[in-house]
Chains A and B, each alone.
Chain A
Amino acid sequence: MIEWELFLQGPLFAVFLGNALIAVGGAVVGTFAVLRREGMLADVLAHAVVPGIGFAYLLSAQKELPVLALGAFLTALAAAGAVEVLRRMARLSEDSRLGVVLAASFGLGIVLLTLLQSRQEADQVGLWRFLFGQAAAVRVEDLPLIVAVTALSLLFVAIAFKELVAMAFDAEFLRTLPLPLQWVEVGYRVAVVAITVVGVQSVGALLIVGLFVLPPMAARLWVRRVPGMLVGSIAVALGAVVVGLGLSWNLPYVATGPVIVTAAAGMVLLSHLFAPHHGVLARVWGYGMRWLRRWDEHAHKLLYYGIERSGGECWEGPILRPEYRGGRAGAVLVLVWLWLRGSIRWEGRRRWRVTRLGHKRACQIVRRHRLWELYLERFFGVPADRVHLEAELVEHVLSPEIEERLQELLQRPEHDPHGRPIPPRQNG
């Protein structure tokens, strides 16, 4: 208990709270950056923070966070303005516009910092930490600014949520409505810049874009709507902070900020692997299940040929066709599969009995196959010797509804183009 109290009051708690708030703010605002496909813009703004810090120190000779943050805030806003001006004035593509502003502002920032370093001030003041970040150096005194910025950003998102979502989805439509949306736009930009500015000291100008885009990217794969995406990306961001701080407390020489961002990137990777519907595993699973279904249907088709060969109602006798090409091992595999599926019963002495269920399944797949053959021949004039291969592909995707429509269209036929019977549908 004593340790817990110490933690709450001590510098470690400040580090945890500061980083967690920055990550949450980045995740929430970043959700809209990702939805608007503006991740690169957040990166440009982060780089434009660096010259602001240089200017602020040069002019004020103070190293307090609020002073440096003000300078950073102003240059980042100027960079956002510059991107907008270039959009209207110059004929550049979006990536070139962003590249120009990023390179120019970051270059200027490094020039200023090296200038200060030549006066041997930057090292003392610790200005370089804004480049690479020093998550473990968040102090109790910094907390009020971080809390205020994050709280205001979250409040803004809560108020303007419906507009922010709609603008990200269809900005053109929204602009035709009688609404003063420029205020929402300004508020959003200010929130992005403000979180960048307070976050830069922790994660660094080079990496903070990771806090904006990675948690929403991971969350998006798991959810269907934007509120879920917000909750998901907050969870991912907090998870990354816990992993990052935990690792760096145990490995003292590892920088915390990069570990946080790497952890978030890892969660994007994990989401791509494990997410439902979109994840790699889900897709492999779906593919595997389709393959298995095809295999199952082919096995039942072989069963039907066995029934057909042994004659009408008789469900006994050797099941596989003598001309089956899968070899002896393949034939055994098919028999075992059909047995596992409950389609056939072992009666001893090389005799199998087809169950009712097995008969129904076997009839269904052959019925679909032959209906499709007939459909192709009748309505598209495909020659009878060509329809088999086409039907091999289509038989697996025909649904009961389509099957019924085919039956009606073909007036419940009794024979396929090869003159073989089409097994009717049994009730019960």
Chain B
Amino acid sequence: MNAVECHDVTVLYGRRVALWGITASIPAGRLTAVVGPNGAGKSTFLKALVALVPLQRGSVHVFGMLPKQARSVVSYMPQRESVDWDFPLTVLDVVLMGRYGRLGLFRRPTPQDYGRAWEALRTVGMEAYAHRHLSELSGGQQQRVFLARALAQDAQLYLMDEPFAGVDAATEELLLQSLKELRAQGKTVVVVHHDLHVVASFFEWIILLNLRLVAAGWVAEVLTDRYLREAYGGRAEILSEVVQRVAHAREALRHKGR
């Protein structure tokens, strides 16, 4: 079963094309990476899945529903830089926002909601920071707060925009661990990512974008020299090295699997 079905999805910003005719699907219960060069429309693709941007053409279905109807089972994590981290809030305040969708308008969080928020904070190792002000956090800690807010949503489909951008090694490890746990719980996770090495060794399904769809499929089929060249264009020297690393990683993974 597919968690997401896109048909001919086209998004324009003014007259500028952000996405053109994307037809692809994302399998349920798998880890999916959305990959492509800068300005390829990766973030726009995620936003199209939660109806944050209007579609010029085409359709999106999430678990067979329109994106707006599917909102109660979808968790969207925006890019860390998209908010003001000097905002007068504490860490716990932000994580509680993950419960707002279930709470409904104007209702105050219940003890259960607080409990779920604390649990999410524990999962990301930020319990000690619950009452800290946002401006006191490092980049990696900010990302953990966003992850905790997403976990507190208890969704079926998680969409994460560049969660690995500019985080420390410990946070990266924790993010990967959390993705694994979500996968083990049968959740579908879609992550915008740019480190092809991690993508090859960790994710199962891949969507390769460059304004239009370059390829979508299992990582082993898509991460080939031809498709990468098509997506990333001229920067071939770096590319062939990356592809080699990817091949090695896949080889190593296969041996580990046995």
A and B associate in one complex: yes
User: Residues on A close to B: CB < 8 A?
Assistant: 35, 91, 159-160, 162-163, 165-166, 168-170, 172-181, 183-184, 220, 223-226, 228-229
In the bound complex, residues from chain B placing their C-beta under 8 Å from that of A183 are: 105
B176 within 8 A of A: no
The CA of A228 and the CA of B89, in the complex, are separated in Å by: 10
In the bound complex, residues from chain A placing their C-beta under 8 Å from that of B51 are: 176
Report which of A160, A169, A177, A228 forms a contact with B71, defined as CB distance below 8 A: A177
**The stretch of B34-42, B90-98, B115-123, B165-173 that contacts the partner chain:** B90-98
Q: Are B90 and A169 in touch, CB under 8 angstroms?
A: no
Ordered by A's residue number, 7 sampled pairs between the chains whose C-beta atoms are within 8 Å are A169-B87, A169-B94, A173-B97, A176-B71, A177-B100, A177-B101, A180-B105
Are A159 and B106 CB-contacts (below 8 A) given A176-B76, A225-B89?
yes
Q: Are A172 and B84 in touch, CB under 8 angstroms?
A: no
- 9 closest pairs, A vs B, by CB? A177-B101, A178-B71, A176-B76, A176-B50, A178-B72, A170-B83, A172-B78, A166-B97, A169-B87
Are A225 and B105 CB-contacts (below 8 A) given A166-B100, A169-B83, A176-B71?
no
The CA of A119 and the CA of B83, in the complex, are separated in Å by: 53
The smallest C-beta distance from B126 to any residue of chain A, in angstroms, reads: 17
Known: A174-B97, A179-B105, A224-B90. 11 other contacts (CB 8 A): A162-B109, A163-B106, A165-B93, A172-B78, A175-B52, A176-B50, A177-B71, A220-B88, A225-B93, A226-B88, A229-B88
Q: Are B71 and A224 in touch, CB under 8 angstroms?
A: no
The CA of A180 and the CA of B68, in the complex, are separated in Å by: 11
The CA of A168 and the CA of B90, in the complex, are separated in Å by: 14
Q: Are B106 and A173 in touch, CB under 8 angstroms?
A: no
In the bound complex, residues from chain B placing their C-beta under 8 Å from that of A175 are: 52
Q: Are B100 and A163 in touch, CB under 8 angstroms?
A: yes
Residue-wise interface mask of B (65-88) relative to A, using a CB-CB cutoff of 8 A (1 in contact, 0 not): 000000110111110001110011
The CA of A172 and the CA of B79, in the complex, are separated in Å by: 10
Are A91 and B97 CB-contacts (below 8 A) given A159-B106, A172-B78, A220-B88?
no
The smallest C-beta distance from B244 to any residue of chain A, in angstroms, reads: 31
Are A178 and B82 CB-contacts (below 8 A) given A160-B106, A223-B88, A225-B88?
no
B111 within 8 A of A: no
Which B residue sits closest to A177, measured CB to CB?
B101
In the bound complex, residues from chain A placing their C-beta under 8 Å from that of B108 are: 162
The smallest C-beta distance from A187 to any residue of chain B, in angstroms, reads: 11
The smallest C-beta distance from A216 to any residue of chain B, in angstroms, reads: 10
Q: How many A-B residue pairs have CB under 8 A?
A: 74
The CA of A181 and the CA of B72, in the complex, are separated in Å by: 14
Q: Are B78 and A224 in touch, CB under 8 angstroms?
A: no
Report which of B72, B78, B88 forms a contact with A173, defined as CB distance below 8 A: B78
The CA of A319 and the CA of B133, in the complex, are separated in Å by: 47
Q: Are B106 and A176 in touch, CB under 8 angstroms?
A: no
Q: Are B105 and A184 in touch, CB under 8 angstroms?
A: yes
The CA of A173 and the CA of B99, in the complex, are separated in Å by: 12
Q: Are A170 and B90 in touch, CB under 8 angstroms?
A: no
Among B14, B74, B78, B87, the most chain A Cβ lie within 10 Å of the Cβ of B87
B257 within 8 A of A: no
Q: Are B82 and A224 in touch, CB under 8 angstroms?
A: no
Q: Are A170 and B82 in touch, CB under 8 angstroms?
A: yes
Among A170, A180, A220, the most chain B Cβ lie within 10 Å of the Cβ of A170
Q: Are A172 and B90 in touch, CB under 8 angstroms?
A: no
In the bound complex, residues from chain B placing their C-beta under 8 Å from that of A166 are: 97, 100
Q: Are B89 and A169 in touch, CB under 8 angstroms?
A: yes
Residue-wise interface mask of B (223-236) relative to A, using a CB-CB cutoff of 8 A (1 in contact, 0 not): 00000000000000
The CA of A428 and the CA of B50, in the complex, are separated in Å by: 63
The CA of A181 and the CA of B106, in the complex, are separated in Å by: 10
The smallest C-beta distance from B8 to any residue of chain A, in angstroms, reads: 23
In the bound complex, residues from chain A placing their C-beta under 8 Å from that of B100 are: 162-163, 166, 174, 177, 179
Q: Are A179 and B101 in touch, CB under 8 angstroms?
A: yes
The CA of A144 and the CA of B71, in the complex, are separated in Å by: 43
Report which of B77, B84, B101 forms a contact with A169, defined as CB distance below 8 A: B84
In the bound complex, residues from chain B placing their C-beta under 8 Å from that of A173 are: 76-78, 97, 149
In the bound complex, residues from chain B placing their C-beta under 8 Å from that of A168 are: 87
Among A159, A162, A183, A225, the most chain B Cβ lie within 10 Å of the Cβ of A162
In the bound complex, residues from chain A placing their C-beta under 8 Å from that of B75 are: 176
The CA of A177 and the CA of B71, in the complex, are separated in Å by: 6
Which B residue sits closest to A169, measured CB to CB?
B87
The smallest C-beta distance from A219 to any residue of chain B, in angstroms, reads: 9
Report which of B77, B87, B105 forms a contact with A163, defined as CB distance below 8 A: B105
Which B residue sits closest to A229, measured CB to CB?
B88
The CA of A174 and the CA of B98, in the complex, are separated in Å by: 9
Which B residue sits closest to A91, measured CB to CB?
B14
Report which of A170, A176, A228 forms a contact with B88, defined as CB distance below 8 A: A228
